[in-house]
Amino acid sequence: MTAAKGSRGKSARHLTLSDPFATAAVRSAVLATWRRSPSRFREDANAEESLALIAYADRVVVELAANASDAAIAAGVRGVLRFSVVNGELRAANTGAPLTVEGVAALASLRASAKRGLAAGTGHFGVGFTAVLSVTDQPQIYSSAGGVEFSLAATIAAVEAQNSPELSAELAMRHQLPPILRLPWPLPAEQLPAGFTTEVRLRLRPHVDITTVLAAAGDYLLLTLPGLDSIELPDRTLTRRVDGPDLVTITDGESTTTWRLARRSGVLSPELSAMRPIEERDRLDWWITWAAPAGRSLLDTGGSEVLYAPTPTDEILQLPARLIGTFPVDDSRRHLAVGPLADFMTGQATEGYLDLLTSAEPSQRLSLIPDAGFGLSRMDTELRLAILEKARKTRLLVTVLGDAIAGESAVVLGSAPTELAEMVAEAIPNLVPAPESAAAAQTLRTLGVRTLETSDMSTALAGLGRGPRFWGRLYELLGYASGDDLADLPVPLADGRTVLGGRGLLIPEMVADSPDEQEYLAELMQALPGLRLVSPAAVQSTSSRQLLLRLGGTLADPSAILADPSVQAQIRSLQVDLDNDEPVEHFENFAFAMLSLIARGGRAPDGLFVDLILTSADDEPWPASQLLLPDSDLAQLIDPAADIPFVSDSLVERFGAQVLAQAGVLASFRVLHDDSAVGPDHELPDESSWWEEVVGSSENAVRTFSAIADLDLIDTDKWPQALRMLSRNREALECLKSAPGSPITYSRWWIANFAVLDEHPPNHWRLPTATDLGGLFDPLPAAVDVEMAELVGVRTGLGQVLIDDVDELLDRLTDPNRVLAAGLVSPITQAVVDALLAQGRHIEPPDQVRVLSGEVIEADNALVLDEPWLAQVLLAAELVPGGSHPERIARFFDLELASVALAAGEIHPGGSQASAIGETTEAVAATTAWQAIGGSLTDSRWINDVLLTAELTVTVDGVDLRVSWWRAGEKNWVDGSAAGWGRLMAYHLGQWSVRHLATAAVAGLSAELVEFGLD
C-alpha cells in the first residue's frame, strides 16, 4: 500500500450519497473506537498490513473466485466469474447472492465473516478480501442494491478529521498508511454486466502487471471451489462439465482435461469440533476430494502441487493427484493448523486416496502410486507413507490370470515380456504383468511386489505340461535371461521325454515340418534310444536355438551326434553283443544310423568306430576296423595270408567307399590316438617290446600316444608301395615324428625294425646322398620319398648314426666284409671313438681294426699313427689313424702308438753333409714361403736351425729308408725338397691341412698358389 497525496476532504463526496449498506454506522463505530484507543488504530493497521502483504499476497484471483463460489452456493445458482480490464481497472463480476448489509459489515471488520453457517462455502474467516490491497488502494464493490468502496485517501481524510493528536501522530508514524478496509463508503448504483449480480472493481497501482495477476487463474479453481462452474478471462475461458459421479471435464481455452474424482464427506464429532474456534464449531460437515487427470499422473506435468483447503495453501504435496478438502488452516490460510482435526482429515485423505486407486482402471493404478520416502512437507510425508502402507495391503493389482491381488502378495518377472508372463502364469501363483518402464518397476517394488528370479521361474515350470512349440516360443521370449538362471528349464526331447536344463543336449537344425527330416529323425531316434535330442518343434527359430546353446547345448550336426556320450556308450556295448553271438540284424539299425550321419558330413572322434559292427561280404557281423574295403589302396598291400574279410558289397553300394572308410573300414592306414596312454593296451604288434625297450620306466611312461595300426598286415614285398602310401597320409606321417626330447615313436620304431626293403629292414640302408657312410651302409635300393626314408630309419648320414646307433657303426667299421674308402677311415674312426667316450662307455677292444688303407686287420698287427713324419717309414695297411687325439684312439682300441714303437727300435735320421742352413738363401726362401702360408716372422727363427741334407734317411730294422723330412727331439731335418719343406712348415704352423699349400709356396708354383686363392 502507498499513501495518497492531497487526501484531505476526499470523503466529502460520499456524504451526499444514499447509504443502503449502512456504511455510515460502520465508519462511526470504527472511528469512535480509534479515538478512544489510538492503539486499536495501530493494531488494525498492522493486522491489515500483515494480511495484505504476507498472508494474502498474490491471492487476488483466488479470493475473488472463492467469494464468487460462495455467492453462487448461497443463491443456489450456477456460478460464473468474469474477469475484465476496463480503463485500467481489473473487474471481477460474479453470479449468485448480491452484496448485503451484513456482507459489507463483514468486509469492514477483521475476522468476522458474514458466511457463518454456510456449510458448503469457502470463506469463513472474513479476511480473504484483504488480498485486493496487494494491487489497489481503492477497491470497489457494486451490487444490484448499490455499491461500496474502501479508499486509502478517504480513510486518511477521515482519520485527520478526528482532530486527535494521538491518531494524527500514529498516522504520521505509519507514513500515511492507515487500515483501508475498516471504513466502507457508499457508491452510487451502476449498471452491472448482464446476468451478474456483483462486480468488484480494482483500480490497479501503476506497477501492477495485469497479466501476472490473471495468470493465477487456472483449472484448480474449478476443481477446488464447488460453487464455481465457469471463469471468463480476457484471453480464454475455463469451464467445468460434470460427466458423471466421479468425472469432471475442465476446459481451459483450447486445452481439455478430464479429472477422475474420489470424494469422502461426513460430520465432525463433537470432540473434534470443540477444538476449533467458536465461529468454526457450527461447521460440522467435512469433505475431501482427490482429483487425478484421467490416464496420467499429475506429476507428469512437472513441478509440485499444494494442499487446497479448499483454496491453495503453502503445504507442498508431490502426489500424483490433487487434494482438496475442508482442512483446518491457520489465520493466514496458508498452512495446516496442526492438531487432532488435521490428523483426522489426513486419515480421511488416506482412505480417499485408496478409493481413487481402486476406482481407476488397473492399467492406470501404478501411475497413481506415490513415491516412497520423505516428501516435500510434513503433510506430504505423512500422506505418502500412510497411503503406501495401505496400498501394499489393498488388492490394487491384477494378476496375469485376471485375479485381484495386493502388492505384498504379488510377484513379477522383472523385465520379462507380457507374453512370457502369460505363458508361465499357470505355473507361478500371484504373477502380475511385467512393468512397462523403469518407473513402473520401481512402483511395483514400492508396493511390496517381489521380483521373481528367473531361476525360480524356470524351476516352477517343471510341472507345466505343454507341447514342444509352446516351449520353443518360451525360449524365444527368454532371450534376455542369463544361462545360469535357466539351469532347470524344461526342454522337450524328440522321443517325447522332457528333461530339465540344456547342458549336454543336442539341438537339431532341421525343419520339423520337412517329411524327409521327420523320417530321418524317426530312424535316428529308433536306432539311438538314449540320444538326448531336443524336439525340432521347440527350436524352429534362431533365438530358441541360441538360448539352448547358452544353456550348454550343442548344435546337433552329425559330428556332434557322433560325439555324444550315449552314442559312444552304445558302440562300446556292441562288442559285448558280438561276443554273445547276436545275429547280424541286431546291429543293422545302429550301423545304418552311424553311416547315415557320416554321409551327412559327420566326423567321428578318433577311434570311435573301432568297435562299430558292420557286415562282411559273407554276411557276418564284424568290427569295422577288421573289415577291408575292396579295391582300396590298402587292399593292394595286405598279405593274402592275413585273411582279412571284405566289407559287404551292399554297404558299399548304399553308402559308398568314402563313408565306409570314415566309419573305420580299412581303406588306408588307420591311426590310433590315446591322450592318456599308460601301457601296451592298444592291441598293436610288438607294442610291449616298444614300451619295454624304448619307453622303459622313464617319466614318459604316461603320454599322448599316436600310432599307425595294421602294419603287420602288409605283404613283405609291398613295403615300398606301403611307404609311398604313408608318405601321402599326413596323419600317419605325424605318427613317425618324435617331439624334441621324446623317445622314438612306436610306429617309427616298428617300421624301422620290422618293415622289409629288399629283404632287409629300413635301418640296413642309407640314403644315396649319405656318402660319409659309403662302404659301411648300402644305398637304399627302393624308390622311397626321402622324408619317409629318414622317418623309418634309413641312415641319413654319419651324424645321425652316431646318435641313433653308434654300436652298429663300430661293428660295420670293424667288419672285414665291408669295403671302406681310405679317405673315410680317419674321420669315421675318430667320430665313433668320440661318440662312445662321450656316452661314458668303455667297450671291450675289438679283435680287428680298420687301417688307413681301408682294410681290416688283426689288432695285434696295428699301430696308431700319432706323428705325421712316421707315415714315411710305416705301411698304411698297418696304421690306425690317430687323428687329433691319437692317445685316445690308442687307449680305446688298446693299440701301441707308432712313435713309441719306432723309438723302441732306436731309429735315427741321418744323411750326407747335414748342417744348419743358418741365414743362407735357402733360409730366406723358406722364410718367404712360411709367411705366405700365414706364419709369423717372429716365429720363423726355427727355420735357421733346420738341418739340411741332400739325402735324408732313417734306419728301420737295419734298412735305410729315404724320407723328405723328419723330427727327433727338438731337431728338424729336411732333404731340401719342396715336399719336405711343406710338411715341416705345416707341422710347425699347427695346421696339417696346409701342407700342400706350403709345398707350392716353397717350390714357387704360381699356378698352384693361385688355386689356393693367393696372388
Would the pLDDT of 908 be above 80? no
Would the pLDDT of 358 be above 90? yes
Give pLDDT tens digits for 475-495: 888 888 877 888 889 999 988
Beta bridge partners of 148: 141, 186
> Which of 13-17, 32-36, 467-471 shows the lowest per-residue confidence on average (mean pLDDT)?
13-17
The more confidently predicted of residues 165 and 955 is 165
The set of residues, in sequence order, having a beta carbon less than 8 Å from that of 656 and lying 6+ positions away, is 599
Give pLDDT tens digits for 312-345: 888 999 999 999 998 988 877 788 988 899 999 9
Given pLDDT bands bounded at 50, 70 and 90, which one contains residue 564? confident
Span 209-234, average pLDDT: 91
Contact 371, 423 (CB under 8 A): no
pLDDT of residue 114: 41
Residue 34: exposed, middle, or buried by beta-carbon count in 10 A (0-12, 13-18, 19+)? buried
Q: What is the end-to-end Cα distance of the chain in Å, rounded? A: 130
52: cell is 495484505
DSSP label at residue 512: T
Given pLDDT bands bounded at 50, 70 and 90, which one contains residue 137? very high
**Residue 395 φ/ψ, nearest 5 degrees:** -75, 75
Overall pTM > 0.95: no
> Which of 433-447, 637-651, 698-712, 925-939 shows the lowest per-residue confidence on average (mean pLDDT)?
698-712
How many Å apart are CA 909 and CA 914, to the nearest integer? 10
> Which of 43-47, 155-159, 195-199 shows the lowest per-residue confidence on average (mean pLDDT)?
43-47
How many Å apart are CA 452 and CA 409, to the nearest integer? 12
Would the pLDDT of 678 be above 50? yes
What order of strands is seen across the sheet that includes strand 947-948?
915-916, 947-948, 971-974, 965-968
Q: In one letter, which amino acid is 483?
A: G
Determine which helix (DSSP H) or strand (DSSP E) holds 614, and give its type and residue range.
Answer: strand 613-615
Given pLDDT bands bounded at 50, 70 and 90, which one contains residue 232? very high
Span 846-865, average pLDDT: 92
Cα separations (Å) of 964 from 796, 948, 949? 41, 10, 10
pLDDT of residue 118: 46
Q: What is the DSSP string of 449-511?
A: PEEPPHHHHHHHGGG----HHHHHHHHHHGGGS-GGGGTT-EEEBTTS-EEES-TT-EE--S-
pLDDT of residue 117: 46
Would the pLDDT of 296 be above 80? no
Beta bridge partners of 11: none
pLDDT of residue 123: 47
pLDDT of residue 631: 87
Would the pLDDT of 661 be above 50? yes
How many Å apart are CA 432 and CA 365, to the nearest integer? 13
SS3 297: coil
Beta bridge partners of 141: 148, 200
Contact 171, 178 (CB under 8 A): yes
The more confidently predicted of residues 244 and 201 is 201
Rg, the chain, Cα only: 62
pLDDT of residue 431: 92
pLDDT of residue 10: 43
Q: What are the DSSP E strand ranges found in 691-781?
A: 703-708, 765-766, 778-779
Would the pLDDT of 126 be above 60? no
622: cell is 564284424
Given pLDDT bands bounded at 50, 70 and 90, which one contains residue 40? very high
Sign of CA dihedral 97, 100, 106, 112: negative
pLDDT of residue 943: 87
Q: At what angle do helices 515-527 and 585-599 cross, to 10 degrees?
A: 130
Q: Taking all residues of the chain, what is their mean pLDDT, rounded to a whole number? A: 86
pLDDT of residue 839: 87
**Tally of CA atoms within 13 A in the half-sphere of 100 that contains its CB:** 11
pLDDT of residue 129: 87
Would the pLDDT of 177 be above 60? yes
Would the pLDDT of 697 be above 70? no
Give pLDDT tens digits for 499-534: 998 899 999 875 556 677 777 777 888 888 888 999
Cα separations (Å) of 984 from 214, 361, 784, 995, 998? 133, 123, 50, 8, 9
Contact 549, 506 (CB under 8 A): no
Beta bridge partners of 595: none
How many Å apart are CA 54 and CA 655, to the nearest integer? 102
| Pairing of β 971-974 and β 450-451 | unpaired
Would the pLDDT of 672 be above 60? yes
H helical segments located in 296-453: 340-359, 362-365, 378-393, 418-424, 438-446
Would the pLDDT of 649 be above 80? yes
Would the pLDDT of 897 be above 90? yes
How many Å apart are CA 654 and CA 649, to the nearest integer? 9
Give pLDDT tens digits for 725-774: 888 888 888 888 888 878 889 999 999 889 998 888 898 898 898 898 98
Q: Which of 391, 222, 255 has the alpha carbon at shortest distance from 320? A: 391
Q: Length of the chain in residues, anyone?
A: 1015
Residues of the chain above pLDDT 90, percent? 32
The set of residues, in sequence order, having a beta carbon less than 8 Å from that of 332 and lying 6+ positions away, is 51, 54, 55, 56
SS3 677: strand
pLDDT of residue 8: 40
The set of residues, in sequence order, having a beta carbon less than 8 Å from that of 936 and lying 6+ positions away, is none
Span 134-144, average pLDDT: 93
68: cell is 464468487
Span 102-119, average pLDDT: 65
Given pLDDT bands bounded at 50, 70 and 90, which one contains residue 154? very high
pLDDT of residue 14: 61
